[in-house]
Structure 1
Amino acid sequence: MNKVKIAHIVHSVGGVDVSLRLILESIDPCNFESIVIHGTGDAKSAFIDKNGKSISEFKLPLQRNISIIRDCKCLIHTIKILKRHRPDIIHGHSAKGGIIAKLVGYNLKIPVLHTPQAYSYLSASNKLKKSVYLLIEKMISFRGNKILASSNSEKNRALFEVGYPENRVLLFNNSIRPIVKIQSLSINKTWPDEYICSVGRPSYQKNIELMLDVLVNLKNKKNNIHLVLMGVGFHSPNLRIVKNKIRRLNLESNITLLEWTSREDIFNIIKNSQLYLSTARYEGLPYSIIESLALAKPIVATNVDGNRDLVIDNYNGRLIRNENVSALSKSVMEIINSEDLKQKYSLNSLKLFNENFNILNNINQLENIYKKTARYL
């Protein structure tokens, strides 16, 4: 049987980079061959397959922000690359990767799968921008492409807001391998032994400002409460605002900001925390929470896309509507003060992971999607 050849197009940062690497390192190289087209300044290490072999990659001026000249160059170069390599499928990841993939796929008559990892219009802070971004998504929903949603929430956005027909919306949950070994920290531990944690760059999406409001509320009840916030260094447009707010609210002794943290250190910090906290405005299907499930942690989170796909209220944590500071802080306090709740939520988090988000169990589903797309789209 001939291998199915897949061209991945991606701005490879954050969770999108994690997602692509997990896919490449999990699909069967005897049946699938991949190439990766990504930005010149994103991925810092080589992409490898399941056997540890390097995957062919091509670097283009692919960036998150819109630039007509730069994006047109990317389109032209991508067309040249794909004419030479003749893939059976294009898989576009994130907003920019999806736009390039759909336009190139339409031009070359190659089937396209697009995994938004949170639709771009959700990032708009005003109604006009949201309308424009949503219009773009609708305009490029050509007949030759399908959405491969990373969560049920994302699937519903594709169906009911972007307007894809049901037969062109598929689902493959973001998934990870079981975390079987926790390594020692490679950095100095400068925070107390009892702490809560989160992963999130200061940005509109992650809404760290709300997390600080929650932390102030918690401090009023428990003076030594401490938050370890990881991943605040890369593409953090609100970092200065967050640091100023920390000073203004007198939270310097209650928070540790880690600008860059290896995945192994993240696992260690989550595992040894009291719970995981998310105040995001929206998500695709966040890897940090999937990792928290795999590490058997209670979770307190805002009830938004992505979070609600991973947290069942009063089963493995708490889901809070409407960015309610009081409800978020109350939930955190109830969990850290109750060993029974912590044990219940911890066991159920691990159960949810094993049932739904273990890539060792799920990868065959994605392989079948690739095969069917290559043959029948």
Structure 2
Amino acid sequence: MKQTAKQVVRLGMLLAIALIASATFNIKNVHADSKTINNLKIYFVPSKQPDQIVTATKPLKGLLKAQLKKQGYNVKNVDIKVGTSYEAAGEALSSGTADIGFIPGGTYVMYDDGAEVLLTATRAGLNKDFTSAKKWNDGKATEATDKQASTYRSLFIAGPSAKGQELAKKINAGKKLSWKDVNSAKWGLSSTTSSAGYIYPSLWLNKNYKKTVTDLSNTVQVDSYGSGMARLASGQIDILPVYADARRDFADAWTKDYKQEKSIWAETNVIGVSQPIYNDTISVSKKSKIMTKQFKSALSKSFIKLAKTDEGKKVIAIYSHEGYVKAKSSNYDGEREAQKVLKESTK
């Protein structure tokens, strides 16, 4: 059938309209798909009892989804897990089985080939921040201040055991501990990627005695600070390296759960203090397919805003986090220095 010139023009116009409509539809689909996250996987480290972390962070699912929606992202499901160890959380990020990890700086550095630091947590500063161990031992509780801090210290806590009290007595008399003193105690050590519980104690030992934790004669690994504090209270261990405000977190448990007669401030003393350590990180997986530059920006904004809400503050309080600031990889060079010391010590 022959077509008139008018019909040909009309047909061409219809085809053009169809093509434009199709292109517009496809663009919208691509845009919509790129803004939809089917499953966002978050891992936490077991720095406290795993069941406590799971319960405390449950509201995070809805809160994070709501914040990301404001950034234009539709997250259908948020899956939260607590790693069986610090390493497990780091490996999950490095392999891409986790998208986001709430991990210490030491864990981040150990797995920074597959993990990228996004944010550094801020916490309430403390009314004590001494380099001298003796100055921490006034028998008074360490209190939080209104000032936010992005760094903290590792404290080496001597417990109520005979050896713990012996070392504390020397420190409080203004004496310096010898390597023999330090090595005569039984130490409770956290995971090898724990900044406060392993890495910075090694750096401290190296600077003071040219040793690391691998040179200590009597050590046991503790799977969480809670179990470590329980062992310290019972006298199973003499020394426990912890983050500086750990005694505040376990002050109630010390008398109620661990059945100690006196307060944690009366029965424990600081025998060593580390250099400043940058706070925990929110890191993301370099292997995660959803971690685009745009989504990482949206995540950063979401966590920073979430931490400013009353509901968000309750969730992140499980790690004593009070807010977040953007992080730089170089902030954690202290961790890298410490891990270099550890590697050299095992050669």
Same fold (TM over 0.5): no
**Higher percent of residues as strand:** 2
> RCO greater where, 1 or 2, for CA within 8 Å and sep 6 or more?
2
